[in-house]
Amino acid sequence: MIKIVDLKKSFGPKEVLRGVNLTIEEGKTTCILGGSGSGKSTLIKCLIRLEDSTSGEIIVDGKDITKIHSEIKLAAIRRHFGYLFQEGALFDSMTVGENVSFGLKYLTDTPLSEYPKIVKEKLALVGLKDVEHLNPSELSGGMKKRVSLARVLAVNPKVILYDEPTTGLDPIMSDIISDLIIDLKSKLGVTSVVITHDMHSAFKIADYIAFLYEGKILLYGTPEDFRKTDNPYVKQFVEGSSHGPIKMKLKNN
């Protein structure tokens, strides 16, 4: 479904993406691993044109979306994507129901009378019920994450982009979110791109994993490929070790 070819992105003199090549398979879950500052968030922002790449191609359904400059055409492309923000990004002034239905108003032609039914359906998909009247301030961290996901699902995206979906959650809730990602792939057949540094979650949910380091993909493969790799950079990250080339590189900087 999506092919990224030699993608580069610079902010002034700073090169963040230095030639990323990656294929995202339709109906599969691809995890993108990497440390802080490796360019993970920049990559998915380029993927939906929240950031413009410096050069390279992003092929979506056979079209290079980096060449699209019409806001109307870009909006049509973005409707295929759902973006789960790291902190959820719920609107505090709206109820849960209003948050979930927000995208229906601006991204679809769904009649207003259908909103309550859709809200209930999408909340049920993420394991929540009878919370439509609550405010975000009344929710736990895990509930906020799931409400945010229900809002993404409300507009029926083909691709869901998850930005650190387990960050800030305890281990049990992190595992619940991982199970939810697997369940949604099974039930809805969505393509998922998950940015994470949570190795437990990545090994559980991923069909494919890409390791991003200094703006390039060092390894792409299955979870088993990552478990068996001899690449010292990838191996150090997977093991969470303070000893290895990544630490040496940081010291040199």
Work out the average pLDDT over 118-125. Answer: 94
Q: How confident is the model at residue 244 (pLDDT cuts 50, 70, 90)?
A: confident
- Dig out the tokens for 175 from the structure: 């595992």
Work out the average pLDDT over 51-67. Answer: 92
Beta strands 55-60 and 14-24: pairing type?
unpaired
Query: Residues 23-54: pLDDT tens digits?
Result: 999 999 999 998 877 889 899 889 988 899 99
| Among 134, 153, 28, residue whose Cα is nearest residue 84 | 153
Of 3.40.605.10, 3.40.50.300, 2.40.50.100, 3.40.1160.10, the CATH number of 2-80+160-252 is 3.40.50.300
Q: Mean pLDDT of all residues in the chain?
A: 90
Percent of the chain at pLDDT exceeding 70? 96
| Among 227, 223, 215, residue whose Cα is nearest residue 194 | 223
Give the number of other CB atoms < 10 A from CB of residue 243.
Answer: 9
pLDDT of 197: 85
Q: How confident is the model at residue 252 (pLDDT cuts 50, 70, 90)?
A: very low
Asked whether residue 251 carries a pLDDT value surpassing 60, the answer given is no
pLDDT of 111: 92
Q: Contact 103/155 with Cβ under 8 angstroms?
A: yes
Q: How confident is the model at residue 88 (pLDDT cuts 50, 70, 90)?
A: low
Query: Residues 211-237: pLDDT tens digits?
Result: 999 999 999 999 999 999 999 999 999
pLDDT of 234: 93
Query: Residues 146-193: pLDDT tens digits?
Result: 999 999 999 999 999 998 888 888 899 899 999 999 999 998 999 999
Domain ranges of the chain: 2-80+160-252, 88-156
